[in-house]
Amino acid sequence: MRSPFFHSLFRLQGLLLVSVILVSLCGTPVFAAVNQEIKREVAQQQTVKKQTTKQLKEARQRQSKKPIASARPTKKLASKSVAKQKMVRAVARQRVTQRRVVAKSRVNLRVEATLVAKTKKSNLAGSHRPDPQALKTALVSGAASSVVRATDKLQVSAASTAANDDPLSLRSGSALVVDEGTGRILLSKNADTARPIASLTKLMTAAVILDAHQPMDQVIEITDADIDTLKWSASRLRPGTKLTREELLRLALMSSENRAAHALARNYPGGLAAFIPAMNAKARALGMNATRYVEPTGLSPQNESTAHDLALLVKAAYHYPLIRDFSTHPESEVDIGPRTLQFRNTDHLVFNRGWDILLQKTGYINEAGHCLVLQTKFEGRRVIVVLLDAWGKYSHFGDAQRIRTWLEARGFDALHDPASSVSEASVHPSVESGFVRTALVEKAPAAVGE
């Protein structure tokens, strides 16, 4: 027989089993109700999501039917809008650039009026107007202070410069190479085409200044009137700087100092109003019939000349010892009081030991390109080289080196005048063959010590 303990144990297990069955039977409806509630909530969320999606689609469709201006911008529309704004800005920049070009051209047309206004201002500062007699004297000062030598003429005929002969394919737009001793044209490329000449102008400026025989030790002050208002070019000669006329002339020829050249012209007898006519009068006296000057620095593109005319100017400038010396001076120090300024020659060929340069001048503005004139020696002969409108920072120096190599390789005797193969009558039937007068010899003023 089992003990009472086992009977109570079996009874307790039965009660537990019965209670579990009862609990499960009672909990089944509850769990079912909970599951139904969860399913109902999920169904409601899906329904709401579908309705929201449908409403968004309908809203987008309605917006697509409206004008683009009122529609909500998408990524594609935003990118197109940015591209359109960039295009509008580019067109605006182009218009601004065109307006600036037009404005510059208008400014160039008013250069002469500006120079006259500056002259009046400087004259008012001196409390007197230009003396008419001084102006009349200035107009002929270039010719009056010089004499002509019959044996000093450059044999450049119209046909020689008209017959282009460029065997070197030079980078310069105009070029002319002349054997000064015989007057033969060795190379000619667009030599009669008038072009802006930039700072080559300063050769004529120096010649006219020396023709006036003013004291070279006279102190001249740089003023606001000497500041370039056309190109706004930089200068280390600040207003208030005081230098002698000789120092200003050296800086103008050696390092192409614009304020120095302008100050020299401003202190010419009669001022700028007399100086510019004197430049043009001297050009006519030298036979430079295609040359025009409107200011003394070369910053204006209205200063124009041809390679042929500039060869005449170089030949005439050779007779001024100061022009020869200052234009080929490698470097110079200028004491301006509290400090000393260092200036170097703008012509790199001056520092080249292989060149024997007697006279030179460089020039550059955007309208003129890079320009160079040289009087040098090849095989003991003096040769004039004129290069205009070379577009490239060192193209004019490269052209000069190519010309030198060509002359040394060919030899002078093997070269011929380009016009020798073309009859002058066929090129210019109405022009008679003849020589062009080119040189006026400067009388040496005692004050200068030339």
* Highest mean pLDDT of the ranges 45-49, 100-104, 194-198: 194-198
- How far apart (Å, rounded) are the C-alpha atoms in residues 369 and 447? 38
**DSSP count for the chain of H helices, then E strands:** 14, 13
pLDDT (0 to 100) of residue 102: 63
Tell me how far apart the alpha carbons of residues 150 and 318 are, in angstroms, rounded to a whole number.
16
> How many C-beta neighbours within 10 Å does residue 40 have?
10
**Total domains present in the chain:** 1
Strands of the sheet with 357-365, listed across from one edge:
184-189, 172-179, 381-390, 369-378, 357-365
- Res. 162: pLDDT tops 70: no
Q: What is the pTM of this model?
A: 0.62
Q: Is residue 62 part of a domain?
A: no
Residue 134 lies in a domain: yes
Amino acid letter at 8? S
Q: Is the dihedral of CA 395, 401, 405, 408 positive or negative?
A: positive
Point out the residues that are catalytic. 199, 202, 256
Q: What is the DSSP string of 172-206?
A: EEEEEEEETTTTEEEEEESTT--EE-GGGHHHHHH
- In the structure, what pLDDT confidence band is assigned to residue 139 with cuts at 50, 70 and 90? very low
Write down the mean pLDDT value for the chain. 77
- Domain presence at residue 82: no
What percentage of the chain reaches a pLDDT higher than 70? 68
Backbone angles phi, psi at 287, to 5 degrees: 85, 15
Per-residue model confidence (pLDDT) at position 413: 64
CATH number of the domain where residue 367 is located = 3.40.710.10
pLDDT of residue 250: 96
- 146 falls within a domain: yes
**pLDDT classification of 223: cutoffs 50, 70, 90:** very high
Q: Using one digit for the tens of pLDDT, what is the confidence trace for 310-366?
A: 999 999 999 999 999 999 999 998 888 788 989 999 998 999 888 999 999 999 999
Residue 14, pLDDT score: 76
Domain with 360 in it: 111-442
pLDDT per position as a tens digit, 55-92 = 888 877 777 665 544 445 555 555 667 777 777 777 77
Q: Is residue 409 part of a domain?
A: yes
- The pair of three-digit structure tokens given for residue 442, joined into one six-digit string: 């400067």
pLDDT at 175: 95
Poorest-pLDDT segment among 138-147, 202-211, 275-284: 138-147
3 pLDDT band, cuts 50/70/90, is low
DSSP state of 176: E
Residue 186 falls within a domain, yes or no? yes
Give 210-233 as a DSSP string. HHTT--TT-EEE--GGGS-SSS--
Domain contains 38: no
pLDDT at 432 over 70: no
Indicate the pLDDT class of residue 436, thresholds 50, 70 and 90. very low
- Indicate whether 125 belongs to any domain: yes
